[in-house]
């Protein structure tokens, strides 16, 4: 029977990995072609990447090559995660001369070295949380079990967020829009009739500014012509069910209504003697919410944001500029409103109370500002 022997530096690396994954919510990164290095990422941390390097650094030339290799990989990470700046904490466990390292590097050869001012200033609880009584295979089993429990918890949360749920709120909103569209033909002169649109609550600046503020809300469910209805309902079906699935029904409803109101208000600021209606302001708010969600999950959705979400937003704004009769101000108002309201309600499993509070404050400031533009 062979005996498994763990070296002290193996236990040190395991201890550090266990701390960063279970206590600081870092995730392992897969970097192809890299040996004897552990890469961990947490895009919500000041140091987005923690790199534990266990191979031997002989001299300055080898360290310079290591830094060059690091800079190339970080460029790829920036591109993938849409990050302008990625701070990296390098933890070296085997360097010939500690003086070779820069101020941003940490040299740790034994667990006592974890009590390093560079580490404790960034992670104040690292010394306390890396204390251990176990040794060898006993500690290896404990670390493995701890990381597995953390990963299981993450998997359950991811399953809860990304698993399919029936988009009932989206179907209800679509049903209201279609119902009102039909009613305009039954009890009025059709969806393109000015008098009928005003009767059903379209956003008419002269009436809205005179005190009929309900029009800012009701106009979100009215559409002018069958193509306007079909285009918006198709967009709502595609985008709405995704946002409802990712944020949950109550947050989705708040995002839809408030971003739609923001679109209606900003449209009012740039219109004169004009009737406007449609769900496009709210739909742009949902695009903003998707953009905000993707920012937090950009490790997985970075490519989708670059190739799909941003181009769709830009294309629709360009179309709004080129085609007469489209209220681009409603689109912009809804888009910005959707981002800020999403910050206020928070991204599941990501947003902190401080971020939600900031979102609430910014949303209030934004709504007050566009109300000033519209009514003052």
Tokens 């079906």, located at residue: 237
Of 45, 235, 280, 327, which residue is the catalytic one? Answer: 280
Q: Look at residue 103 and give its three-state secondary structure.
A: coil
Domain boundaries, the chain: 8-161, 164-375
Mean pLDDT, the chain, integer: 86
State the distance between the two ends of the chain, measured CA to CA, in whole angstroms: 85
Beta-carbon count within 10 A of 215 CB: 24
What is the rounded average pLDDT of the residues 325-347?
Answer: 91
Task: Judge contact between 283 and 320, C-beta under 8 A.
Answer: no
CA pair distance 141, 281, nearest whole angstrom: 54
- Calculate what percentage of the chain has a pLDDT beyond 70: 93
SS3 state at 90: strand
Is 331 designated active site?
yes
Beta-sheet strand order (sheet of 105-107): 27-28, 37-41, 49-53, 88-92, 105-107
Instruction: Considering the domain delimited by 164-375, tell me its CATH architecture.
Output: Up-down Bundle (1.20)
What's residue 365's pLDDT?
A: 97
Which pLDDT score is estimated for 326?
74
pLDDT band, very low/low/confident/very high, at 302 (cuts 50, 70, 90)? low
Q: Give pLDDT, residue 2.
A: 42
User: Active-site residue 280, yes or no?
Assistant: yes
Examine the pLDDT at 268 and tell me if it is beyond 80. yes
The residue-averaged pLDDT of 258-284 equals 91
Q: What would the mean pLDDT of 130-152 be, rounded to a whole number?
A: 81
Q: Which residue has the tokens 């956003």?
A: 203
Mean pLDDT of 257-273: 92
Q: Encode pLDDT of 52-71 as tens digits.
A: 888 888 888 888 888 888 88
Average pLDDT over residues 66-78: 86
Mean pLDDT, rounded, for 342-370: 92
Phi, psi of 92 (to 5 degrees): -100, 135
pTM: 0.79
Is residue 343 scored above 90 in pLDDT?
yes
What tokens appear for 327 in the block? Answer: 């209220």
């Amino acid at each position: 029977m062979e005996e498994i022997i763990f070296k002290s530096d193996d236990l040190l690396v395991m201890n550090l990995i266990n701390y960063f994954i279970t206590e600081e919510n870092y995730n392992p990164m897969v970097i192809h072609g890299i040996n004897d290095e552990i890469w961990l990422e947490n895009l919500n941390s000041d140091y987005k990447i923690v790199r534990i390097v266990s191979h031997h650094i002989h001299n300055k030339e080898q360290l310079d090559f290591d830094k060059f290799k690091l800079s190339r990989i970080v460029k790829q990470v920036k591109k993938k995660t849409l990050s302008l700046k990625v701070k990296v904490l390098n933890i070296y466990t085997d360097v010939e001369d500690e003086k070779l390292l820069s101020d941003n590097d940490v040299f740790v050869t034994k667990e006592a070295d974890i009590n390093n001012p560079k580490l404790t200033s960034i992670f104040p609880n690292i010394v306390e949380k890396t204390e251990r009584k176990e040794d060898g295979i006993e500690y290896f089993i404990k670390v493995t079990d701890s990381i597995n429990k953390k990963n299981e918890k993450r998997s359950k949360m991811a399953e809860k967020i990304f698993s399919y749920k029936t988009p009932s709120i989206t179907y209800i909103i679509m049903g209201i829009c279609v119902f009102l569209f039909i009613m305009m033909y039954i009890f009025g002169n059709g969806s393109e009739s000015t008098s009928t649109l005003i009767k059903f609550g379209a956003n008419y600046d002269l009436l809205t500014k005179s005190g009929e503020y309900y029009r800012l809300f009701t106009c979100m469910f009215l559409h002018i012509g069958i193509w306007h209805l079909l285009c918006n309902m198709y967009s709502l079906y595609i985008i709405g069910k995704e946002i409802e699935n990712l944020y949950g029904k109550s947050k989705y409803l708040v995002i839809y209504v408030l971003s739609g109101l923001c679109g209606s208000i900003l449209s009012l600021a740039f219109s004169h003697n004009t009737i406007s209606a449609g769900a496009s302001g709210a739909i742009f708010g949902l695009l903003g919410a998707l953009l905000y969600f993707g920012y937090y999950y950009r490790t997985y959705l970075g490519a989708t944001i670059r190739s799909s979400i941003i181009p769709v937003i830009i294309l629709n704004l360009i179309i709004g500029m080129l085609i007469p009769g489209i209220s681009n101000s409603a689109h912009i108002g809804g888009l910005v409103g959707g981002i800020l309201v999403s910050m206020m309600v928070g991204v599941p499993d990501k947003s902190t109370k401080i971020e939600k509070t900031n979102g609430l404050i910014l949303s209030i400031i934004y709504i007050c500002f566009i109300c000033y533009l519209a009514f003052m």
